[in-house]
Amino acid sequence: MKQQELIPHLFRSEYQKMVSVLCRLFGIAHMEIAEDIVSETFLAATEIWSTKGIPENPTAWLYTVAKNKTKNYLKRDNLFQQKLSPEIQYHAAKMEEFELDLSVKNIGDSQLAMIFTICNPEISTESQVALALNLLCGFGIQEIADAYLTNKEVVYKRLQRAKEKLKEVNVRIEQPDLTEISKRVDTVLITLYLLFSEGYYSTTQNTTLRRDFCAEAMRLTYLLTAQERTNLPEVNALFSLMCFHVSRFDARANQDGETILYHDQDESLWNKELIDQGKYYLGLSANGNQLTKYHLEAGIAYWHTHKEDTPEKWLQILELYNNLLIIEYSPIVALNRTFALAKAYGKAIAIVEAEKLKLTDNLFYYSLLGNLYTDIDDTVALQHYRQALLLASSNADKTIITKYIRHLTV
């Protein structure tokens, strides 16, 4: 791999590991110092590797430089040492004995601690996702701004406010105990779910960025499954859901980036290995007696890996949607349910249920009604599709809706 490809790859995979370890070492009040040390490490790699070549083990080289930079920082900044915990002060005082622990175990423990630190109810969910993208996944401010279709200043201010709030409440970065996990796991899973959704349902046209967001959400969720204390049924259900969705990623768009709807997808492009992995973790999620929205959504996603349009499939999906609405009502979930209802019992009954929702500011509401009225009353279907087109903001949505309008007007 060439240097111009290797360094961005390593930045994505190693930046967040080193930042997590240093943040845990220094404490939440000094997270900027942790970020600076790691950024300086990658800057050194860029400068030295361009003249001396890529080392035999690039990751080990980065870890060694990060360790030395940490040691040098502690050595020259006595005031900083005094602000650290007594244990770190002791090792810093005996600098020849100090060694930054970048073992696989400590990296995993530190990342787990950071996940539970960032997913703090003191800061908004939106800020939790932004911080997760930045500190846990290594995404830069510009990349986050691109994902949210906003500018760098907005993202920068959001991150700074969130960091200041965590410092203000003096959150400790430490391995969560069982009580803390029980209190905080719902917030953690919501953040990871939203991080995944930002990639999977993103309106950005940057396919690579969308895939990276999904991959990072899956990596962090898998990290939870790999830790005994956080290997919970709902965690396995969320990971299963992610596997099923990502398994169809390659079939969701054509070469021009246009969205391909489910019934038009090429099943041969579905990733069978990820589908099998999703089934495995869905099985693990059955342990225990708690049914969560992640279990139900994973079940819905599982049935969508069966391309056959059978009554059994849509009856199963409809039942899962019914239970999902009981657990956590959402107008969008109710809207999605009406599609399954149409498949199971016909369009006429689905139209009645859909129109009760009155989601008049939602393009998918009108798009669904356009679909349901097609072949029943094409004039009404056309009206709904045209209203959906007025509400559409992304090129992908506009392209799909325009195709339906053309079909009804030829």
The 10s digit of each residue's pLDDT in 319-364 is 999 999 999 999 999 999 999 999 999 999 999 999 999 999 999 9
For the chain, report the end-to-end CA distance as a whole number of angstroms: 52
Asked if residue 107 is part of any domain, the answer here is no
Q: For residues 260 and 252, is the Cβ–Cβ distance under 8 A?
A: yes
The sign one gets for the Cα dihedral 264, 267, 269, 274 is positive
pLDDT digits (tens, 9 = 90+) for 385-402: 999 999 998 787 888 999
Q: HSE (CB half, 13 Å, CA atoms) of 88?
A: 20
Q: Is the pLDDT of residue 373 over 80?
A: yes
Q: Does 198 or 106 have the greater pLDDT score?
A: 106
The model carries a pTM of 0.86
**φ, ψ for residue 383 (rounded to 5)?**
-60, -45
Last residue of a domain, one of 312, 338, 356: 356
Task: Return the bridge partners of 253, or none.
Answer: 259
Asked if residue 306 is part of any domain, the answer here is yes
Asked if residue 304 is part of any domain, the answer here is yes
Asked if residue 352 is part of any domain, the answer here is yes
Q: Does 8 or 370 have the greater pLDDT score?
A: 370
Distance CA 336, CA 320 (A): 11
Q: Does 306 or 170 have the greater pLDDT score?
A: 306
User: What pLDDT does residue 90 have?
Assistant: 44
Q: For residues 126 and 119, is the Cβ–Cβ distance under 8 A?
A: no
Q: What is the mean pLDDT of residues 180-205?
A: 83
Q: Is the pLDDT of residue 79 over 60?
A: no
User: What pLDDT does residue 206 have?
Assistant: 60
User: What pLDDT does residue 234 have?
Assistant: 97
pLDDT band at 95 (very low <50, low <70, confident <90, very high): very low
Give the domain extent around 391. Answer: 359-410
Q: Is the pLDDT of residue 209 over 70?
A: no
Distance CA 235, CA 300 (A): 17
Asked if residue 131 is part of any domain, the answer here is no
pLDDT digits (tens, 9 = 90+) for 118-166: 888 888 888 888 888 888 888 888 888 877 778 899 999 999 999 999 8
Q: What is the mean pLDDT of residues 250-279?
A: 88
Last residue of a domain, one of 356, 385, 400: 356
Asked if residue 308 is part of any domain, the answer here is yes
Q: Tell me, what DSSP letter sits at residue 253?
A: B
* Residue in the structure block whose two tokens are 């390659």: 250
Is the domain of 323 the same as that of 368?
A: no
Mean pLDDT, the chain, integer: 88
Number of domains within the chain: 2
Asked if residue 374 is part of any domain, the answer here is yes
Q: Is the pLDDT of residue 4 over 50?
A: yes
* Closest-CA residue to 237 (of 297, 295, 302): 295
User: What pLDDT does residue 91 have?
Assistant: 47
Task: Return the bridge partners of 259, or none.
Answer: 253
User: What pLDDT does residue 208 have?
Assistant: 59
Cα dihedral: 50, 52, 53, 56 (round 10): -140
Contacts (Cβ under 8 Å, ≥6 apart) of 185: 230, 232, 234, 235
Helix (H, G, I), strand (E, B), or coil: what is residue 60? Answer: helix
